[in-house]
Amino acid sequence: MATNEREIPRYLISSKYIWAMITFIVLFSALFMIVYEPYSLAVWFTTDDTLKFSFTVLFYVASIVVLIISRSVMYSLQDRLRITVMRYIWWIMAENLVISLLYTWITTTLFPIEGMTAPDIGVRALFCVTMILAIPNALVSFYAAYRAKCEDLEASQYELQRLNDEYQLLKNMKELEVIAAMEAHKQTPRERTPKMIQLHDTNGTLRLTVNVDALYLLEAEDNYIKVYYKHNDKIATYMLRCRTSALEKSLEGTVFVRCHRSYIVNINKIAVMGEENRIHYVMLADESIKRIPVSRSYYDNLLRALDAQRITLAEQ
């Protein structure tokens, strides 16, 4: 598939990225214009003249509003429109053009510059706006990509460590001990094998395999699922691009139960279940994980799951 037909990574249009990008642009643009202003005849930004300063602030606010509206529309369309690399580039170019036209209109209408036509001012404005938007976009994109790669690497390291532990366990087990244990507990070899939870992304690609005893919590964040699991005696996290409803369906019949619109918990890891100000909550066995709210619509289902698990453990 050609690069321009490839879909862009979803983190580029996540709410967290959008606000980080806009904040960076505000700071970077102010610094850029301070440096660029002495060398350009088409810049009317100043703090010395009350009228020009007022329009400077107005222009900045209007530009930020344009960006917020544009990225909000992109965010709302991400599930209905396939945003490819080329579409993303054209979208950014359209943002640049709108802001440049706004600056050109203000300049030619209120602060005309002798010897410079509207096209000349428009070209200069388009250059400045493109530079101001391109550099923060690139830097924030690189950082977001770096964080995504770090999370993938951490998950790969966990998977490698898990496979190595299983290999060492199987290597050291003796056939006689396995048979005696199965007869004593009346279990099959499959039941003795540690149960693993396989987590797939929206494309069906296997991204993470976690031992059920190491997996604590699944938290929905936009179009991602934040996976909380224990690795080297510490809680680690992994961002999985997947819908909560699809993940919940794949976990039916397991110890993972939905307790809130945004949370699925491992009921074996629940240490405390309580109520405060008429709001139910659970706390998991690891103190580094925050208190998890329990919605009224999921409360009864969670109680039934806990009772069923208690009965199953008592029968064993």
- Per domain, the residue ranges of the chain are 3-148, 195-315
**Averaged pLDDT for residues 245-264:** 89
Spell out the CATH class of 195-315.
mainly beta
Among 129, 102, 141, 96, residue whose Cα is nearest residue 118: 102
- Are 231 and 156 in contact by the 8 Å Cβ rule? The answer is no
Q: Which pLDDT belongs to residue 134?
A: 81
Residue 86 contacts by C-beta under 8 Å, 6 or more apart in sequence?
4, 5
Q: Which pLDDT belongs to residue 218?
A: 95
pLDDT surpassing 70 at residue 47: no
Q: Which pLDDT belongs to residue 237?
A: 93
**Averaged pLDDT for residues 227-235:** 92
What is the band of 292 on the pLDDT scale with cuts at 50, 70, 90? very high
Q: Which pLDDT belongs to residue 244?
A: 86
Could you give the CA distance from residue 113 to residue 110 in angstroms, rounded to a whole number? 10
What is the band of 125 on the pLDDT scale with cuts at 50, 70, 90? confident
Among 223, 189, 186, residue whose Cα is nearest residue 203: 223
Among 202, 256, 210, residue whose Cα is nearest residue 235: 210
Question: How many Å is the Cα radius of gyration of the chain?
Answer: 28
What is the band of 266 on the pLDDT scale with cuts at 50, 70, 90? very high
Q: Which pLDDT belongs to residue 188?
A: 35
Could you give the CA distance from residue 9 to residue 97 in angstroms, rounded to a whole number? 24
158-175: per-residue pLDDT in tens?
778 878 877 777 776 655
> What's phi and psi for 226, nearest 5 deg?
-90, 115
**Averaged pLDDT for residues 124-153:** 79
pLDDT surpassing 90 at residue 236: yes
